[in-house]
Amino acid sequence: MDSNFNLKITLPKIPDIELVAIEGLERMGRFLGITEDKIGEAKIVVNEAIINGFEHSGIENQYVNIEFIMTKEELTILVTDYGKGFNPEEVEEPDISKKIGGKNKRGWGIKLMKSLSDDLTIESGPAGTKISIIKKLT
């Protein structure tokens, strides 16, 4: 069997649907012998990317598409929503010392995705957002 696996899922906006994507990721990773640590980190990245997608998906199109391309060496994650988009440059770097005692304790998604991956690209506009992530698995 080919050692390059591809999984595409269209996720509707319903509670905990991100776990479906995470389940697929875990199964592919274990089949390929990826370490539990790397799978665990990838799960966090995928979870945050999907949450981000749903937050920007808007009311008209409450779906997020996710695609995984996985080899033993590398995982590519593509997350697309068709919402109103956002400007990644306007996203403030979160600082825990400001979050503790501050009103807004959220806003960690992009920081976590960046920190736990090897490359992250965000393309966003009025027709939607596409996040492309590469994570080394070795």
Residues in contact with other proteins by the rule CB under 8 A: 15-16, 18-20, 22-23, 36-37, 40-41, 43-44, 47-48, 51, 94-97, 99-101, 105-106, 108-109, 111-112, 115-116
- When the beta carbons of 36 and 119 are compared against other proteins, the nearer one is 36
Output 59 or 100, the one with its CB closest to other proteins.
100
In whole angstroms, the minimum distance from the beta carbon of 35 to other proteins comes to 10
**Rounded to an integer, what is the distance from CA 125 to the centroid of its chain?**
18
Q: Give, as one character, the DSSP assignment of residue 105.
A: -
**Please, which residue, 130 or 135, has the CB nearer to other proteins?**
135
Distance CA 123, CA 129 (A): 6
Q: Residue holding tokens 């980190």?
A: 41
DSSP state of 34: -
> Comparing C-alpha atoms, which of 20, 114, 2 is closest to residue 66?
20
The distance of closest approach from Cβ of residue 29 to other proteins in the complex, given in angstroms and rounded to an integer, is: 12
